[in-house]
Structure 1
Amino acid sequence: MPRPLPRARLRSTAAVFTTLTALTATSLVTGPSVAGPFSAAPCALERTDAHHSEGLDTWNAAYPRPTRALDAVMIFLSFPDSAPLTTPAELTADHFPATSRYFAQASYGRFALRPHPLRHWIRMPRPSTAYAIQRDWTASHRAAYLRDALASADGQVDFSRYDVVYFVADPHAPGVDSDATKVVNLEAPLRADGADIRRVVTVFENHPPDRLVLAHETGHVFDLPDLYHRPTDGKGDWDTHVGDWDLMGSQFGRAPDLFGWHKWKLGWLEERQVVCVPGGEPTRLTLESLSAGPDVPVTGAAGAPVFGSGRGTKLAVVRTGPDSVLAFEARGAVGNDRSACRQGVLVYRVRSGAESGGGPVQVIDAHPRTEACWENSVYPALADAPVDVGERFTVPGENVRVEVEGRTPSGAWTVKISPLR
Structure 2
Amino acid sequence: MPKLRSTAAVCTTLSALAATSILGSPSAAEPFSTTPCTLHRTDDHHSEGLDSWNPDYTRPTGALDAVLVFLSFPDATPRLSPAQLTADHFPATSRYYEQASYGRFTLRPHPVSHWLRMPKPSTAYAMKRDWSAENRGTYLRDAFAAADRDVDFSRYQVVYLVADPDAPGVDSDATKVVNLDTPIHVDGTDVRRVVTVFEKHPPDRLVLAHETGHVFDLPDLYHRPVDGKGDWDTYVGDWDLMGSQFGLSPDLFAWHKWKLGWLDPRQVVCVRGARPTRLTLEPLEAGPGVPVQDAAGAPAFGLGHGVKLAIVRTGVDSALAFEVRSAAGNDRAACRQGVLVYRVRSGAQSGAGPVEVVDAHPHTEACWENSVHPALADAPVALGESFTVPGDDVKVEAEGRTASGAWTVRITPGLKDEG
TM-score, length of structure 1 as denominator length: 0.90
Q: Secondary structure at the match of 1:69?
A: strand
1:130 and 2:124 are equivalent in the alignment: yes
In structure 2, what is the equivalent of residue 41 of structure 1? 35
User: Hey, what's the Cα distance between the residues in 1 that align with 2:380 and 2:413?
Assistant: 19
Q: Secondary structure at the match of 2:112?
A: strand
Q: Secondary structure at the match of 1:41?
A: coil
User: Hey, what's the Cα distance between the residues in 1 that align with 2:388 and 2:331?
Assistant: 25
1:101 and 2:101 are equivalent in the alignment: no
1:178 and 2:168 are equivalent in the alignment: no
Amino acid in structure 1 at the alignment position of 2:87: A
Size of the aligned set, in residue pairs, is: 383
1:252 and 2:246 are equivalent in the alignment: yes
In structure 2, what is the equivalent of residue 419 of structure 1? 413
1:117 and 2:117 are equivalent in the alignment: no
Correspondence list, 1:269-348, <5 A: 269-348=263-342
Pick from 401, 405, 414: which aligns with 1:407? 401
User: Hey, what's the Cα distance between the residues in 1 that align with 2:183 and 2:172?
Assistant: 25
Q: Secondary structure at the match of 2:52?
A: coil
Amino acid in structure 1 at the alignment position of 2:350: S
User: Hey, what's the Cα distance between the residues in 2 that align with 1:419 and 1:297?
Assistant: 32
User: Hey, what's the Cα distance between the residues in 2 that align with 1:369 and 1:40?
Assistant: 38
Pick from 182, 186, 189: which aligns with 1:188? 182
Amino acid in structure 1 at the alignment position of 2:297: G
Amino acid in structure 2 at the alignment position of 1:258: L
* Structure 1 position 303, deviation (Å): 2.5
User: Hey, what's the Cα distance between the residues in 2 that align with 1:299 and 1:196?
Assistant: 46
- Kept in 2, the 8 Å contact 1:40–1:274? The answer is no
In structure 2, what is the equivalent of residue 27 of structure 1? none
User: Hey, what's the Cα distance between the residues in 2 that align with 1:302 and 1:49?
Assistant: 47
In structure 2, what is the equivalent of residue 243 of structure 1? 237
Q: Secondary structure at the match of 1:179?
A: helix
Moved over 2 A (4+): none
* Structure 1 position 40, deviation (Å): 7.2
Q: Secondary structure at the match of 1:100?
A: helix
Pick from 65, 79, 100: which aligns with 1:71? 65
Correspondence list, 1:188-227, <5 A: 188-227=182-221
Which structure is richer in relative contact order (CA contacts within 8 A, separation 6 or more)?
A: 1
Amino acid in structure 2 at the alignment position of 1:149: A
1:371 and 2:361 are equivalent in the alignment: no
Q: Secondary structure at the match of 1:112?
A: strand
Amino acid in structure 2 at the alignment position of 1:77: L
User: Hey, what's the Cα distance between the residues in 2 that align with 1:249 and 1:219?
Assistant: 11
In structure 2, what is the equivalent of residue 83 of structure 1? 77
- Kept in 1, the 8 Å contact 2:255–2:309? The answer is yes
- Kept in 2, the 8 Å contact 1:40–1:276? The answer is no
Measured against aligned partners, the alpha-carbon deviations of 1:235-270 in whole angstroms (never above 9, x if no partner) come to: 110000000000000000000000000000000001
- Kept in 2, the 8 Å contact 1:400–1:417? The answer is yes
Pick from 150, 167, 181: which aligns with 2:161? 167
* Structure 1 position 46, deviation (Å): 0.7
Q: Secondary structure at the match of 2:231?
A: coil
In structure 1, what is the equivalent of residue 150 of structure 2? 156
* Structure 1 position 64, deviation (Å): 0.2
- Kept in 1, the 8 Å contact 2:71–2:116? The answer is yes
User: Hey, what's the Cα distance between the residues in 1 that align with 2:312 and 2:293?
Assistant: 28
Amino acid in structure 2 at the alignment position of 1:362: E
Measured against aligned partners, the alpha-carbon deviations of 1:103-137 in whole angstroms (never above 9, x if no partner) come to: 00000000000000011000000000000000000
Amino acid in structure 2 at the alignment position of 1:273: Q
User: Hey, what's the Cα distance between the residues in 2 that align with 1:364 and 1:350?
Assistant: 11
* Structure 1 position 385, deviation (Å): 0.0
Measured against aligned partners, the alpha-carbon deviations of 1:324-358 in whole angstroms (never above 9, x if no partner) come to: 00000000000000000000000000000001000
Measured against aligned partners, the alpha-carbon deviations of 1:373-396 in whole angstroms (never above 9, x if no partner) come to: 000000000000000011010000
Q: Secondary structure at the match of 1:120?
A: coil
User: Hey, what's the Cα distance between the residues in 1 that align with 2:238 and 2:324?
Assistant: 15
- Kept in 2, the 8 Å contact 1:298–1:308? The answer is no
Measured against aligned partners, the alpha-carbon deviations of 1:288-318 in whole angstroms (never above 9, x if no partner) come to: 0001102100111122211133111000000
- Kept in 1, the 8 Å contact 2:303–2:404? The answer is no
Structure 1, unaligned runs of 5 or more: 1-38
Indicate the percent of aligned positions where both proteins have the same amino acid: 76
In structure 2, what is the equivalent of residue 9 of structure 1? none
User: Hey, what's the Cα distance between the residues in 1 that align with 2:293 and 2:367?
Assistant: 21
